[in-house]
Structure 1
Amino acid sequence: MLSDIILVATGLVALFAGGEWLVRGAVALASRMGMPTLLISLTVVGFGTSMPELLVSLRAAMEGRADIALGNVVGSNIANILLIIAVSAMVSPMVRWDGAVKRDAIVMVAAGLATLALVQSDVIGATAGVALLAVLAAYVGYAYWADRKAGQALQFHPFPEISRRKTVFCILAGFIFLFAGAEALVNGAVGIARTFGISEAVIGLTIVAVGTSLPELATSVIAAVRRHSDIAIGNIVGSNIFNIFGILGITAVVAPVSASNNFREFDAPVMLVVSVMFAMLLSFGRSIGRIVGLLFLGAYGAYLVMLFAS
């Protein structure tokens, strides 16, 4: 029991550190290669902050832990909105976001619909995975074209310039910590599930999902404190899009993912409802304040209660 808790804690720390180092190194490398700032924001940073989710889901799927693999993706998307947006709003209310965020919110809802459709089948296989990745590529291409046409330059992690040697070190260390962290987290989570008789799906939807969302939590809270609402919100919307079209897509291509009845009947519908609710708030609302944050936290608490009670 204690060893499993240590594994989970160690895995979370390693994933957080590895994700930060990888993004730092990848951004520096992309800048050296002459990639436009906007393209770096849409691809390198967006994908980099989702690396913990990717490696954990991949590792779980390859070990036949489909519930953890799928639960990590679905649970992360739910936690990103009901937990991370809530905490960010509680720390500093968010106001004023641009049309790009509203546009991406629609794509996020489409990702939720795609997930709900995919889990109706017994297995999410390679064909579905390729389709998801194709949609992601189309989305990134369109977003880059639209934002460039509008003259926007999305901001990303304000990492300082680093030397070539440090760039290589950050990338290598990032991957090493991410792989080790994913291994430790999956093994520890499985051990805890067995000890308490909890399903692996519940563990994936909670401990694993929240743990792999730590980079998004740090980014959004810091952005909210600095009054950069677009970054705080855009980080979450972008992460949710990447989680479905990218993480689930790659995972399904590498190892088919089976979906249990709970995902069909409860978790995927909850994720879709939460995504629609958040998209409507972004489309018609003017701010996300502490009251909304409290409501989101309450909704997340209710979701957890229903999850563990089922």
Structure 2
Amino acid sequence: MVEAWGLFVLGLVLLALGGDTLVKGVSGLAQKAGLSPFTAGLLLMAFGTSLPELFINAAALIKGEPALALGNAVGSNLVNLGLTLPLAALCAPLLVRMRLLSPLLLVLVVATALVMVFGLDGRINRLEGTILLVGFVVVLVRMVVLGRSEAPAVRTSVETFASTRTVLWLNLVRLVIGVVLLGYGARDVVQAMQGIAPSLGLTPLMAGLLPLAIGSALPEIAAAIVAARRGQGDMVLGHVIGSSVCNLLLVIGGMAVIAPLALPASFVRLELPAAIALAVVLVPMLRGDARVSRGEAAVLLLAFVGWVALELASLSS
């Protein structure tokens, strides 16, 4: 058991290092290829933090654990909205200046509802997975178009985030190292969870929803707190909302395209409705005074704690 937890922690460290290295490599290569720093930063800000989930889920599928992968994908969204975001806002209220975040949040609500509808029959088939993937591409294009109308201060902030050396060989090395670290990290956390889950009385699905989703989010939580204290509310919201959209459209869509994905009834009853509720609660915060206060963060955090309590209660019932 101790060895499994040690392997889990090691895997999380490798995922954090690999994700950061790969993001820098991709950003440098994209800019070397002619992509503007703002566009590169915009895409990486929104979807770069989903890289660990992508590798974790790929490793889980390879090891024959689709339930673990599904739990991690949806659990990561709940952790993003109910833990990462409120903890950052409790440290420092988040001022939101980036205008495209509001429509992106609405995309998140719609995408979650779409996954719910697709899962009413207990599965997401390849056609439905393809629809989710096409939706992801449309969202990417729309983000780039909307981003062109952002204020100069917002553009500068995003460009600073994407700032990196564009030397070709360096970024190729970063790319290779990042992929290797992510691959080994994902393998380790999935292998560890296969040993930890039974000892905690958790099903693979529940293991993905709770310990795996929360554990893999710890580096992002730390980064979000630092960004909040620096007054980078756009970065925090961009990571949280963009990563959540990516988990639904790219990760779940991709899993379903590879093989029809079984969706437990509990997902339609509890997990996906909880994800929609957290996203909907955030809508008036961004459309009102365009900030997430400490009081609003406390509401999100309490809602997350309530969801965890319901999940734990379902284990004992």
Task: Give TM-score scaled by structure 1 length.
Answer: 0.93
Q: 1:165 to 1:264 in 2, by over 3 A?
A: same
Name the aligned partner's letter for residue 155 of structure 1.
V
SS of the residue 2:100 aligns to: helix
**What's the offset of the Cα at 1:285?**
4.1
Query: Could you tell me which of 280, 286, 302 is aligned with 1:276?
Result: 280
Q: Is 1:155 aligned to residue 158 of structure 2? A: yes
Query: Could you tell me which of 183, 188, 203 is aligned with 2:192?
Result: 188
Instruction: Provide Cα deviations, 1:104-160, integer angstroms capped at 9, x if missing partner.
Output: 111111111112112223222322221111011111112212222556636163554
Moved runs in structure 1, 4+ residues, more than 6 A?
none
Q: Where does 1:19-98 land on structure 2 (aligned, <5 Å)?
A: 19-98=19-98
Instruction: Provide Cα deviations, 1:222-245, integer angstroms capped at 9, x if missing partner.
Output: 321111212211221111111111
Query: Could you tell me which of 291, 299, 305 is aligned with 1:301?
Result: 305
Q: Where does 1:158-177 land on structure 2 (aligned, <5 Å)?
A: 159-161=163-165, 163-177=167-181
Q: Is 1:178 aligned to residue 182 of structure 2? A: yes
Q: Which moved more, 1:268-277 or 1:213-222?
A: 213-222
Name the aligned partner's letter for residue 110 of structure 1.
V
How far apart are the structure 1 equivalents of 2:273 and 2:39?
A: 32
Name the aligned partner's letter for residue 87 of structure 2.
V
Q: Which moved more, 1:172-181 or 1:258-267?
A: 258-267
Q: Which moved more, 1:150-159 or 1:170-179?
A: 150-159
Contact kept in structure 1, 2:46 and 2:238, CA below 8 Å:
no
Instruction: Provide Cα deviations, 1:18-52, integer angstroms capped at 9, x if missing partner.
Output: 10000011111111111122331343453332111
The aligned residue for residue 225 of structure 1 is 229
Contact kept in structure 1, 2:41 and 2:162, CA below 8 Å:
no
Q: 1:233 to 1:46 in 2, by over 3 A?
A: closer
**What's the offset of the Cα at 1:162?**
5.8
Name the aligned partner's letter for residue 178 of structure 2.
G
Task: Give TM-score scaled by structure 2 length.
Answer: 0.91
SS of the residue 1:50 aligns to: helix
SS of the residue 2:35 aligns to: coil
How far apart are the structure 2 equivalents of 1:120 and 1:244?
A: 16
Query: Could you tell me which of 196, 199, 202 is aligned with 2:203?
Result: 199
The aligned residue for residue 239 of structure 1 is 243
5+ long unaligned stretches in structure 2: none
- Pairwise CA RMSD: 2.0
Contact kept in structure 1, 2:126 and 2:260, CA below 8 Å:
yes
Name the aligned partner's letter for residue 158 of structure 2.
Q
Name the aligned partner's letter for residue 40 of structure 1.
A
**Identity of matched residues, %:** 27
5+ long unaligned stretches in structure 1: none
SS of the residue 2:56 aligns to: helix
How far apart are the structure 2 equivalents of 1:124 and 1:212?
A: 25
